[in-house]
Amino acid sequence: NAGVMQNPRHLVRRRGQEARLRCSPMKGHSHVYWYRQLPEEGLKFMVYLQKENIIDESGMPKERFSAEFPKEGPSILRIQQVVRGDSAAYFCASSPRTSSYNEQFFGPGTRLTVL
């Protein structure tokens, strides 16, 4: 059973461009979470999605950031008009939610660099 896949692993964008980060959850997992880790800081929750639904987006910046998890295909975190402050590692996690606790399985992350 393959783990959580994220691509690309590294992404370089110039200011003003768009960044698209993809996350394929583990097989059988229908819950996806996105976290951001700024350099030398801890992980911050961004958004929680189930198939075709956003459940909790309380950690998402109000502008330029959006996320989706379509019925078919990976979850996408989209950052429009990137700025230097968006440079960070973005981690995706998935969960089966078949248990009463909330173990999440993390991907290797996408490291975004904005020039």
Partner 1 sequence: DAKTTQPNSMESNEEEPVHLPCNHSTISGTDYIHWYRQLPSQGPEYVIHGLTSNVNNRMASLAIAEDRKSSTLILHRATLRDAAVYYCILTSNRDDKIIFGKGTRLHILP
Q: How far is CA 76 from CA 1, 28, 39, 47, 101, in A?
A: 21, 18, 22, 11, 25
Instruction: Determine if 45 is a binding residue for partner 1 (CB under 8 A).
Output: yes
Kindly report whether the peptide bond that precedes residue 8 is cis, defined as omega within 30 degrees of 0.
yes
Instruction: Determine if 35 is a binding residue for partner 1 (CB under 8 A).
Output: yes
Neighbours of 105 (CB within 10 A): 15
- Stretch in the footprint of partner 1 (CB under 8 A) among 13-21, 56-64, 66-74, 77-85: 56-64
The nearest distance, CB 105 to partner 1, in angstroms, is: 7
- Could you list the residues that contact partner 1 (CB under 8 A)? 4, 31, 33, 35, 42-45, 48, 55-56, 58-59, 91, 93, 95, 97, 100-109
